Structure 1
Amino acid sequence: MTNVHATGPESTKPPDEPHDDKEEYGGGAIEGQHGYIPAWLLVVYFVLFVWALYYAFQYWGGLGPGRI
């Protein structure tokens, strides 16, 4: 019996076999997979965003002309 809804090479695997979620690009030179974003990286993103806002207002004149 064949699975009508499945497409691609994953459709030939039995349902109980673990799936390989890696995607290949550039003929296999680059591999990507779905995962999670580590908490420390989210903290780095937040800190950089806050620093960018501070820098924009402090050194680029704030909201417009007329700043003392």
Structure 2
Amino acid sequence: MTTPSTPTPSTPQSDGPSHGSDPDHEMEEYAGGTVQSRHGYIPIWLLVVYAVLFVWGLYYAYLYWGGVGPGRIG
């Protein structure tokens, strides 16, 4: 069994772009360095996709809620 590891910040490596001492771009490593993450921004296009899918989900749920099923007359 493996023990859960806590996130350990690492310093930027020389082969990647340098972000200086900005703490927002600090890399975090999990699972012994197998998974790396950093804080960033969410692109506007992705927020639009989320909003469109949410609205479509509400529309679909309203339109097809309680459709023909057992005991219902179609």
Letter in 1 for 2:31: G
Counting only pairs closer than 5 Å after superposition, residues 1-68 of structure 1 correspond to structure 2 as: 18-19=20-21, 21-61=26-66
Task: Name the structure where strand makes up a greater proportion of residues.
Answer: 2
Q: Which has the higher contact order (CA 8 A, sep 6+)?
A: 2
TM-score norm. by structure 1 comes to: 0.60
Structure 1 segments of 4+ aligned residues over 6 angstroms from their partners:
none
- The alpha-carbon distance between structure 1 residues 9 and 35, as it changes in their structure 2 partners (threshold 3 A), is closer
TM-score norm. by structure 2 comes to: 0.56
The answer for unaligned runs of 5 or more in structure 2 is: 1-7, 11-18, 67-74
Secondary structure (helix, strand or coil) at the match of 1:24 reads strand
Secondary structure (helix, strand or coil) at the match of 2:42 reads coil
The equivalent of 1:65 in structure 2 is none
CA contact under 8 A between 2:9 and 2:26: conserved in structure 1?
A: no
Aligned length in residues: 48
- The alpha-carbon distance between structure 1 residues 57 and 24, as it changes in their structure 2 partners (threshold 3 A), is same
The answer for unaligned runs of 5 or more in structure 1 is: 1-7, 11-16, 62-68
